[in-house]
Structure 1
């Protein structure tokens, strides 16, 4: 295991463009950290700098306290799993897994190599495939072979570069479980790049969100979801993404396209009278008043539904609205940065599958204002972020990480001794 420290890391190419700009990140021993963001945000470049495949223009990279900027990849003792598996087609699964050890001539004898291959095969359920060639394996099996090859090296850290992007949805779900189980069992420090936020939210102890090479927020998945620092993070985390609505401050009220809600204290007392802010409400925080009772403190409103999508376990309803000119351009730009393809301003709500709303209906919906975020449109800052609650979520996440790691390692030791 290893502690990896990134201190003010910068990557500039020949034209001076900063693909990664002043990123500082401290990855704890045994921690699973996700690098996430839209296409072109610099996440893969940052990973390649850690492993040594990209030069660092400025800043320091430390592994266990040792500066490694100038070390070759082979001298950093890191193991990388690529998107395209990078298996040798003429070698068997056994030979592919053993390949890194056979390269290190003299370090391990044949018995030790076989023992490590067997251990990896046990962990990844590859025993029956050890004598097969990669061409005869499924995509998921090939990815497990690539992971096995990383395991046997006993490297200080694992680095994953979008390893599941070539798999179908079902296999991605299965492989997420395998990767999580493997990382907990081995307790190896892991840095994982993905554009898939389901992977980010389910795998990571902490998630680092990047935007145009700049680190926006590093936090547990729960903190990112509940206490985002700005518009970008709020819009990136969550599926469907958070709804952003124009919100005019009028005394102690916020005027939204469909209703008025009480203004949060920070907005009332912050000198925002008459200003147009941006309110953010997640789709899953709405409910159908015909299916669930409206609780005390909630705000209900009627809206014309354009289209619905019934998915079996939930129902999506789309409600168009006219965006205010002052915020429209910024929200359209944000949508483009988030790789979105919105063609119109609309409210997306996720309702109970029992809802009978269909396109064309006038629905009565409700949500609780305390679950609403309010953003400054000029800076993107989340005005309603609760720093104390964010601190508690961070402490809780770290406590759960340590408990899970200790339990997995104890179970692994029991299996070894048995």
Structure 2
């Protein structure tokens, strides 16, 4: 195992376009870091520079404290799991897993190869498939073989390039759990590229969010969700996405197309004196006011709106409210949609309410907002005006503590 350090990494192609632009990131020994962002943000390019498949234009890459910019991929002792599995169709599962060791002739005895292959096979529940060919396996089984090939190398770090994107939704869920379990068990430094934020939020100790080659924020999943650094991170992280409502702060009141929303003192101060702000409100920050007690209602603000339609999902329900956008933020919202590689952001609130709520499309409903969790953003710069940096750092610190306990438990289990 080893730490990975990126110091002001730049990747420019022949036309001078910076696919990766001045990225600095410290990945601790044994840490699981996710690189996430929309298509074309530079995350796969960054991963390929770490493994040595792309040259570094500027900056330094250190693995275990050693500068490796000029080392060939085979000399970096990194194991990579590809999106397309990269298995040899003519070899059995056993031989596919053993291949990296056989490639280094004379380094491993037959007994050592067999020991490592069977250890990986047990971990991945592949024992009964060792004599089969990849063509006779399911997608999930092929991915486990690809992971087995990485495990036997006992590399300094594992690198994953969108390994689950070829699997269906059910298999992705199963393999997420498998990868998480293995990474905790092996305690190997891991860097994982994905555009799927469910993978990012469930797998990573920390998540690095990229936009157009520039690192936007690196933090625990919970810090990204609760204390996003800017408009892009707030919009990209979370499903459904954060709602952005234009408004103006007057005193302690945020005046919006939805009506007046009473703000906490700190938020009102952050937005005071600005011509317009964007209020970021996650769907889960709302509730059907009719389901709350007076004591609960007093801890937030309410407004009345007509619902366009609802979606009932069994464990929760989404209700939708349309509103009129402010032309002063139209360009900001259009640019944000482009940056997120999304369709045009509609002027429509998505609100998560209790599954037992009987709200339906066409109803005029009284809705409640947890105003303590509203963020205000500057539409011009994207800055989160209400970010509590200390609270965010505490969330990431707690995530590191949780990770340390996981590593101790894994070590104790292997002792």
Question: After the TM superposition, which residues 8-87 of structure 1 pair with which residues of structure 2 at under 5 Å, given as runs?
Answer: 8-87=8-87
Matched, 1:309 2:336: no
Task: Measure, in 2, the Cα distance between the counterparts of 1:344 and 1:270.
Answer: 26
Task: Measure, in 2, the Cα distance between the counterparts of 1:198 and 1:268.
Answer: 33
Shift of 1:409: 2.0
1:187 corresponds to: 187
Shift of 1:261: 2.2
Task: Measure, in 2, the Cα distance between the counterparts of 1:194 and 1:187.
Answer: 20
Does the 8 A contact of 1:94 with 1:131 survive in 2?
yes
Task: Measure, in 2, the Cα distance between the counterparts of 1:309 and 1:342.
Answer: 21
Give SS of 2:356's match. coil
Task: Measure, in 2, the Cα distance between the counterparts of 1:346 and 1:93.
Answer: 50
2:384 corresponds to: 382
Decide whether aligned partners of structure 1 residues 156 and 207 sit closer, same or farther in structure 2, where only a CA change above 3 A counts: same
1:122 corresponds to: 122
Q: TM-score, normalised by structure 2?
A: 0.97
1:153 corresponds to: 153
Shift of 1:32: 0.2
Task: Measure, in 2, the Cα distance between the counterparts of 1:90 and 1:409.
Answer: 37
1:239 corresponds to: 239
Give SS of 2:16's match. coil
Shift of 1:138: 0.2
Shift of 1:223: 0.5
Does the 8 A contact of 1:206 with 1:220 survive in 2?
yes
Q: Which moved more, 1:128-137 or 1:400-409?
A: 400-409
Shift of 1:300: 1.2
2:299 corresponds to: 297
Q: 1:64-111 CA distances to partner (integer Å, 9 max, x unpaired)?
A: 111000100000000000000000000000000000000011011101
Does the 8 A contact of 1:99 with 1:149 survive in 2?
yes
Task: Measure, in 1, the Cα distance between the counterparts of 2:20 and 2:266.
Answer: 34
Does the 8 A contact of 1:184 with 1:404 survive in 2?
yes
Task: Measure, in 2, the Cα distance between the counterparts of 1:122 and 1:204.
Answer: 24
Matched, 1:397 2:399: yes
Q: 1:157-198 CA distances to partner (integer Å, 9 max, x unpaired)?
A: 000000000001110010011101111111100000000111
Decide whether aligned partners of structure 1 residues 388 and 344 sit closer, same or farther in structure 2, where only a CA change above 3 A counts: closer
Decide whether aligned partners of structure 1 residues 157 and 343 sit closer, same or farther in structure 2, where only a CA change above 3 A counts: closer
Shift of 1:267: 5.0
Shift of 1:355: 1.2
Shift of 1:260: 1.6
1:260 corresponds to: 260
Matched, 1:365 2:329: no
Task: Measure, in 2, the Cα distance between the counterparts of 1:200 and 1:147.
Answer: 18
Shift of 1:332: 1.8
Q: 1:284-329 CA distances to partner (integer Å, 9 max, x unpaired)?
A: 1111122333512311111111121111111111111111011111
Task: Measure, in 2, the Cα distance between the counterparts of 1:58 and 1:314.
Answer: 48
Give SS of 1:83's match. coil
Does the 8 A contact of 2:209 with 2:215 survive in 1?
yes
Shift of 1:26: 0.2
Give SS of 2:359's match. coil
2:216 corresponds to: 216
Q: CA RMSD in A?
A: 1.2
Task: Measure, in 1, the Cα distance between the counterparts of 2:275 and 2:344.
Answer: 26
Task: Measure, in 2, the Cα distance between the counterparts of 1:190 and 1:179.
Answer: 10
Task: Measure, in 1, the Cα distance between the counterparts of 2:207 and 2:82.
Answer: 20
Shift of 1:118: 0.3
Question: After the TM superposition, which residues 265-304 of structure 1 pair with which residues of structure 2 at under 5 Å, given as runs?
Answer: 265-266=265-266, 268-269=268-269, 272-273=272-273, 275-293=275-293, 295=296, 296-304=298-306
Shift of 1:119: 0.3
Give SS of 1:33's match. strand
2:331 aligns with one of 315, 329, 333: 329
Shift of 1:377: 1.0
Matched, 1:131 2:110: no
Does the 8 A contact of 1:231 with 1:375 survive in 2?
yes
Question: After the TM superposition, which residues 163-202 of structure 1 pair with which residues of structure 2 at under 5 Å, given as runs?
Answer: 163-202=163-202
Number of aligned positions between the proteins: 413
Shift of 1:412: 2.3
Give SS of 2:366's match. strand
Task: Measure, in 2, the Cα distance between the counterparts of 1:340 and 1:319.
Answer: 20
Give SS of 1:290's match. helix
Shift of 1:270: 5.0
Task: Measure, in 2, the Cα distance between the counterparts of 1:260 and 1:270.
Answer: 17
